[in-house]
Amino acid sequence: MGEPYAEDLQFTPLHAQHIALGGRMVPFGGYELPVQYPTGIMAEHKWTREHAGLFDVSHMGPSFLMLAERSGDPEADHAAVAAVVETFVCGDIKGLKPGQVRYTLMLNASGGTIDDLMVARPADPAWSGVLYIVVNAGTKEDDFALIEKAAAGKAVLNRADDGGLLALQGPEAVEVMAGFVPDATDLSFMTYGSFDWNGTRLVIARSGYTGEDGFEILTDAEHAVAVWEKLLADERVRAIGLGARDSLRLEAGLPLYGHDLDETVSPIEARLGFAVSKRRREAADFPGAARILRERDGDLKRVRIGLLVEGAPAREGAEILDAEGGAVGVVTSGGFAPTLTRAIALGFVPPGHAAPGTMLQVSVRGRLQAAQVVETPFVPHRYVRKARETI
Amino acid sequence: MTIKFTQDHEYIAVEGASGTVGITAYAQDQLGDIVFIELPVVGKVLKKGDEAAVVESVKAASEIYAPVSGTVTEVNAVLSGEPGLVNQDPAGAGWMFRMSIADAGELDTLMDEAAYQDHIK
């Protein structure tokens, strides 16, 4: 039980808070973080779906890419910094509206995924020529090196991963935010802004990794504990560990880098075709475009599916077989879904086996169990996309 | 009744030539919420250390090993529907299976309560 302990684990600014709350600390992405608190993963998962969960995601890689020489023309400066990022992602960064956050993929020359990330354009024109970029923890050193290489001479990368990044997620998150930074409740899903809180700046995005409405809050290290404790003081909020973070994102059908995405998996295979923006597709000007456009036209060997699994959870690495028992694929994430009280999984199979309703099987400890292909998310997303223009 | 413990946190409560096997309070706490249990079939012959059952928490699967050699005589079928009993009452309602004990001498290789409490310190 428990992973072998790596040396030189880093602490987030909230490490002492996790210990004080009785968090069970484990190594994750080079950091020591709580997998759960004393109430356990099931209770934490359900609390987040019903109320509001607070997650320490300070291990991730927030950063700001700043144009080296800004002209002062907001559109021109945005276009210039966007051009740097578009060399390594498939998303339309140039087309971001002020305040907009976009999920995109960093790709290698063969169209495989180096990382999935968020890229956002500041709402304030005074900050044009800057992009807020958040990459995954486990890949951040390589990602930042790649970004710096692409930016050489044109833009400067300022890492912000020495601070606190907190995710407040759940149906009551917006009510909690109303009592914390009221102006941030005007944000709609996938927008962000910079807000004053007690004299410090917080960068707040309406985004998350649970399928629920919620916010991700970047603070400097000095204020991280105060933000954490202020939010936790609200009775609707409980601290949630990495275990429930994983079960929540799995129910939401969201891929996890290093498991459902890696350097061999393309956006089309991962069913993330929406992240290959139209303008980029038409220009075919991103890494691996030839493969990705070919796959988009139907020349696809495998595709990510969701599975409802009968019986024991099928974990990562479990073989997927067709109804006749022929091997067709592999599970890349699997576990127990607390909301559905059953086992679910993500995996890859050839397109011929990927239609919802297809009956497949999974091999768990050498025994075959029925598994049905279903649409994802397994649990519907409850993002708040406002009709009115807020930016 | 004598209760003995393994290094891997199984217990066996011995009554005569048979024993009731489960996991300790410490083990269930370490595993967290148990969501699925795979029990052995009655009649299965186990050698000491053989995989006898599997408990699944939200995060991971963990094997439960036979504390001693013997034959499975009864399983706690209630756990199929209520795996959480292992968390709530590991030493009581959360028992997993009963077995006949083939070689009582193997019990001497296990820890008693005091030694086990020392082991998990």
Q: Is B60 a domain residue?
A: yes
Give the pLDDT confidence score for residue B9 in this predicted structure. 97
Q: Is B11 a domain residue?
A: yes
Contact A235, A192 (CB under 8 A): no
pLDDT digit string, tens, across residues A61-111: 999 999 999 999 999 999 999 999 999 999 999 999 999 999 999 999 999
Q: Is B118 a domain residue?
A: no
On the question of pLDDT at A389 being above 90, the answer is: no
Give the pLDDT confidence score for residue A10 in this predicted structure. 96
Give the pLDDT confidence score for residue A367 in this predicted structure. 94
Q: Is B108 a domain residue?
A: no
Q: Is B111 a domain residue?
A: no
Contact A336, B36 (CB under 8 A): yes
Query: Which among A41, A242, A248, A249 is the top mutation candidate for probing chain B, defined by the most B β-carbons within 10 Å of its own β-carbon?
Result: A41
On the question of pLDDT at A391 being above 80, the answer is: no
Question: Cβ of A363 under 8 Å from any chain B Cβ?
Answer: no
Q: What is the DSSP string of B18-59?
A: EEEEEE-HHHHHHH-SEEEEEPPPTT-EE-TT-EEEEEEESS
How many Cβ atoms sit within 10 Å of the Cβ of residue A4? 5
pLDDT digit string, tens, across residues B60-115: 899 999 999 999 999 999 999 999 999 999 999 999 999 999 999 999 999 999 99
Which candidate from B32, B38, B59 shows the least CB-CB separation from A335? B59
Question: Cβ of B31 under 8 Å from any chain A Cβ?
Answer: yes
Q: What is the DSSP string of B96-112?
A: -EEEEES-GGGGGGSB-
Q: Identify all chain B residues contacting A331, using CB atoms and an 8 Å cutoff.
A: none
Q: Residue B97's domain is classified under what CATH number? A: 2.40.50.100
On the question of pLDDT at A280 being above 60, the answer is: yes
pLDDT digit string, tens, across residues A29-48: 999 999 999 999 999 999 99
pLDDT digit string, tens, across residues A312-365: 999 999 999 999 999 999 999 999 999 999 999 999 999 999 999 999 999 999
Q: How many domains does chain B have?
A: 1
* CB within 8 Å of A30: residues ≥ 6 apart: A6, A9, A10, A59, A137, A138
How close B16 comes to chain A (CA, Å)? 32
Give the residue among A228, A203, A209, A245 at the shortest CA–CA distance from A36.
Answer: A245
Contact A122, A218 (CB under 8 A): no
d(CA A183, CA A193): 9
pLDDT digit string, tens, across residues B18-72: 999 999 999 999 999 999 999 999 999 999 999 999 999 998 899 999 999 999 9
Q: Where are the alpha helices (DSSP H) in A203-288?
A: 221-232, 242-251, 278-283
Give the pLDDT confidence score for residue B69 in this predicted structure. 98
d(CA A255, CA A249): 8
Contact A348, A360 (CB under 8 A): no
Q: Identify all chain A residues contacting B36, using CB atoms and an 8 Å cutoff.
A: 311-313, 336, 343
Please give the ipTM for the structure prediction.
0.86
Q: Is B10 a domain residue?
A: yes
Q: How many residues does chain A have?
A: 391
d(CA B39, CA B63): 11
Q: Is B20 a domain residue?
A: yes
* CB within 8 Å of A1: residues ≥ 6 apart: B27, B30, B31, B62
How much is the average pLDDT of A253-281? 98
Q: Report the percent of chain A where pLDDT is more than 70.
A: 97
Contact A99, A116 (CB under 8 A): no
Q: Is B114 a domain residue?
A: no
Give the pLDDT confidence score for residue A2 in this predicted structure. 44
Q: For chain A, which domains are there?
A: 15-58+163-251 (3.30.1360.120), 61-158 (3.30.70.1400), 301-374 (2.40.30.110)
How close A244 comes to chain B (CA, Å)? 9
Residue B74 domain boundaries: 2-103
pLDDT digit string, tens, across residues A283-308: 999 999 999 999 999 999 999 999 99
Q: Report the percent of chain B where pLDDT is more than 90.
A: 97
How close A40 comes to chain B (CA, Å)? 6
Task: Classify strands A52-56 and A164-169 as parallel, antiparallel or unpaired.
Answer: antiparallel
